[in-house]
Amino acid sequence: MHPPEQIIDELDQRVTRSHAHFIDLAFVASFEPLDVSHALSDSSWINAMHEELENFERNQAWTLVDPPPNVHFIGTKWIFKNKQGEDGTVVRNKARLVAQGYSQLEGIDFTETFARIARLEAIRILLAFATSRGFKLYQMDVKSAFLNGFIGEDVYVKQPPRFENPKYPHKVLKLHKALYGLKQAHRAWYDRLKSFLLERGYLMGSVDKTLFTRKHGKDFLLVQIYVDDIIFGGSSNALVAEFADTMSREFEMSMMGELTFFLGLQIKQSK
């Protein structure tokens, strides 16, 4: 699904960001494309789109099939967004393939859609609590988080614009995993993560359902979920390290280190 004519430079020289480590930000474009044609004019954005498609392939998110008769097909589109650091510098080009969920039909393409999301007040309370207890908070995010959520409905989407399979351009994709933009995607991911944590002895908050805790003797660990971003910290370095390792073995994670910037909040943690 990656036509060679849409790739700038040699295919075997294409750099994946996870291996580039953002050396001097050499592989980051400073602009946000207006559309997919605009994105295809820059190698950094082409890399970002291929990185997104490789995530789908690695997670076995879909199967290319013949269009079933009398079935509703959902369109797909590319969304381009620059991720910025706390100083406003562009640190990553993120290309995301999303489903045009506004065309979904209730009862056919989806049923339940409600999912919990942390409120900004909950983040502020967590920061205040960590300060009072004197422990550090760390941040990690889940790469293509929604691809970890399984969907129960039969959902068919059109192939990614400008990345259609050249041999089978008229086939469609039958989804096995949730795709950004689907009405049930957020719920599917939250349910998967919640089940994973509860099975490993974490307790879910009685009021804030996005807060999970774990106790080990006198030590404790706090985990706050905000969609695909996770803030965590506790009184024991061993519990913190164990949580990071457990999550990394189950999901593809980006470890961000100590929490310094989140939802517009700048956080400075003392040594």
Domain count, the chain: 1
Question: Is residue 96 domain-resident?
Answer: yes
Question: Is residue 86 domain-resident?
Answer: yes
Using an 8 Å Cβ cutoff, are 261 and 138 in contact?
no
pLDDT in tens, 82-110: 988 777 888 889 999 998 876 555 544 44
pLDDT in tens, 43-54: 999 999 999 999
Rounded CA gap, 156 and 64, in Å?
Answer: 10
Give the model's pLDDT for residue 103.
54
Closest CA to 77 of 186, 158, 165: 158
The two structure tokens encoding residue 246 = 């457990």
Question: Is residue 271 domain-resident?
Answer: no
* Better-scored residue on pLDDT, 172 or 1: 172
Chain centroid to CA 63: how far?
21
Is residue 49 exposed (0-12), middle (13-18) or buried (19+ Cβ within 10 Å)?
Answer: buried
Rg (CA), the chain: 20
Query: What DSSP state is assigned to residue 92?
Result: E
Question: Is residue 196 domain-resident?
Answer: yes
Question: Is residue 65 domain-resident?
Answer: yes
Residue showing tokens 């390792």: 245
Q: Is the dihedral of CA 184, 188, 190, 195 positive or negative?
A: positive
- Report pTM: 0.64
Question: Is residue 71 domain-resident?
Answer: yes
Question: Is residue 211 domain-resident?
Answer: yes
Which domain does 194 fall in, by range? 4-266
Mean of the pLDDT values across residues 182-192?
Answer: 84
